[in-house]
Structure 1
């Protein structure tokens, strides 16, 4: 029988395999990753000497530290079909050791200091052939605010600590994971929101670096402009007067050219703004349980709570109040929203 391992929703401790028998250590190493990051097939060495896992809630996120001698984990199509509700996105920092991640047609070699992402909604293979330590943030897709196609662009695309953003995020992720258990409940929620915002920056960086956003009709030379405009939109979501005209004027381009840039996104500029506002509202509804629906709507640029409720229901199939209530269980929210013009 496997030893007791901490549940995903409970505060963490640092259980160790040292006092266990060899059989117990192997059982622990198979069970622990399931409890922290979804169902996977685990292979561990016959002679496993030590291991440790710590999982601590951080608002709606999960902060996980894991040590081991070696590990091979597969999430097969069978497991994806069987545990389809495990749609978390896992952001990892490899602290020590080397590894290899296969997902979405990419095969990435990992080294110390690398930040890498994998998605539990699709098959993957993660392998550490020798002693390793990882620090991870398990992020519900609804909180992350990225579509499935966006997530698919950043999986198995490691960001090294020698890059400007990697050098910033590596110590940040490490400190957040280490300190997760010491935060008050309200502080944890605020920290989780900041983490999610920074992970959005990470996604934009990786997509720009890999060319994941250069498809469609957007010329490769205009990708930087498109990303700057999208970042501008995110910074001004709270402004109810933001329109395609004001965005174009701020970037010294015509509204017609602005709309052409967004053709590759397969959405109009107005719908893009609405989607980002809805994603921000949905995140705040989960992170700030005491805020009123109207306050959340106004914070992110919706002129009225009634209008916000209508477009929210059109996008996600339930009212904001119903969606917030579902967070106490396991919400069934579509990964891609059907949006209407604001």
Structure 2
């Protein structure tokens, strides 16, 4: 197989058949699919003309977009036993074309906008009878948090765009995959985990668990709020009151959500601002301390210097002078109220 073409514009990789001679494309395309999604026996037409796969990491998750011609992929028990991808689950949105998925004794016929799940630990067959585009999250099974028996009950069950949860989840997943590589690492991972928590709500519905104010629902909201904070760190008016208003919840409920983080909302904002300031102090050595502080929402350079010293044990200028390429872990910061 020809070596994969890599695009260095974003983290991850880009695989394409476009630059290959026609007689090399089938073998290359089979290998690219197996490299991305685990070992599969792939039936590809002789006349396959093009295919692209873009992958981008989102923490422990991977965002993947695939454009390709018709194909059929079979994952047998033998391939599962020989592969190291059996600890992964794929959450896939069919963006274009049709598909049929067979797993765990069920067959799902899929159309554009349908979202579905399959488990790499068990045999499956996925068929695309025409040109297609998919957008996927590949995630470790433990991230989804479902038992083996529960997992077998949610695979090959399409969630259509006409359902309330599908109408919310499908465009969110599509936007996340499309924008992967453009988010700060923490923001991207938090947004990906929002999708995971919404999938947990989907699993609860399929499994007949009671809906409502569940731990999973609280976690999904908390992650959305943390991603919101990351997007608005530079706003000096970012306050708990503003965050609660933006998410249509009470201030009391907002503080309750953060109890699991062992930090108040204000301390969480301050910690994230300090982390970004510390990163910029190392990356932008010509920027003044005050400029870095103002960039990330600190209105007073003197206040910034005080809380930075309290958190990291030295002044911002001293930390920059140390030129430490591996700053202390976030957990080492001793937070003080902003």
Same fold (TM over 0.5): yes
Count of residue pairs brought into register by the alignment: 220
2:160 maps to what in 1?
160
What does 1:1-342 correspond to in 2, within 5 Å?
1-4=1-4, 11-83=11-83, 86-208=86-208, 226-228=209-211, 231-234=213-216
Contact 2:94 2:111 in 1 (8 A): yes
Counterparts of 2:33 and 2:40, CA distance in 1: 8
Cα RMSD for the two superposed structures: 2.4
Q: CA deviation at 1:172?
A: 0.6
Distance change in 2, residues 1:85/1:112 (3 Å) = closer
TM-score (norm. length: structure 1): 0.60
1:309 maps to what in 2?
none
Distance change in 2, residues 1:105/1:6 (3 Å) = farther
Counterparts of 1:118 and 1:101, CA distance in 2: 8
Counterparts of 2:80 and 2:137, CA distance in 1: 20
Counterparts of 1:49 and 1:234, CA distance in 2: 44
Q: 1:227 aligns to what SS in structure 2? A: coil
Distance change in 2, residues 1:234/1:131 (3 Å) = closer
Distance change in 2, residues 1:236/1:91 (3 Å) = closer
Distance change in 2, residues 1:154/1:23 (3 Å) = same
Distance change in 2, residues 1:145/1:28 (3 Å) = same
Contact 1:42 1:74 in 2 (8 A): yes
Counterparts of 2:127 and 2:218, CA distance in 1: 42
Q: CA deviation at 1:134?
A: 0.3
Counterparts of 1:182 and 1:88, CA distance in 2: 24
TM-score (norm. length: structure 2): 0.60
- Higher CA-based Rg: 2
Counterparts of 1:233 and 1:52, CA distance in 2: 39
Contact 1:6 1:35 in 2 (8 A): no
Structure 2: unaligned runs, 5 residues or longer = 220-259, 262-270, 272-338
Distance change in 2, residues 1:179/1:48 (3 Å) = same
Q: CA deviation at 1:47?
A: 0.6
Q: CA deviation at 1:24?
A: 2.1
Deviations 1:168-216 (A, max 9, x none): 11111100001111111222222232222112112223333xxxxxxxx
Counterparts of 1:192 and 1:115, CA distance in 2: 15
Contact 1:3 1:27 in 2 (8 A): no
Contact 1:3 1:24 in 2 (8 A): no
Contact 1:5 1:28 in 2 (8 A): no
Distance change in 2, residues 1:194/1:100 (3 Å) = same
Distance change in 2, residues 1:42/1:2 (3 Å) = farther
Question: Bigger relative contact order, structure 1 or 2, given CA contacts below 8 A and separation 6+?
Answer: 1
Q: CA deviation at 1:129?
A: 1.1
Counterparts of 1:32 and 1:174, CA distance in 2: 22
1:252 maps to what in 2?
none
Q: CA deviation at 1:86?
A: 2.3
Distance change in 2, residues 1:110/1:192 (3 Å) = same
Deviations 1:105-155 (A, max 9, x none): 001111111101100000000000110000000010111111111111011
Distance change in 2, residues 1:164/1:236 (3 Å) = closer
Contact 2:169 2:195 in 1 (8 A): no
Distance change in 2, residues 1:47/1:234 (3 Å) = closer
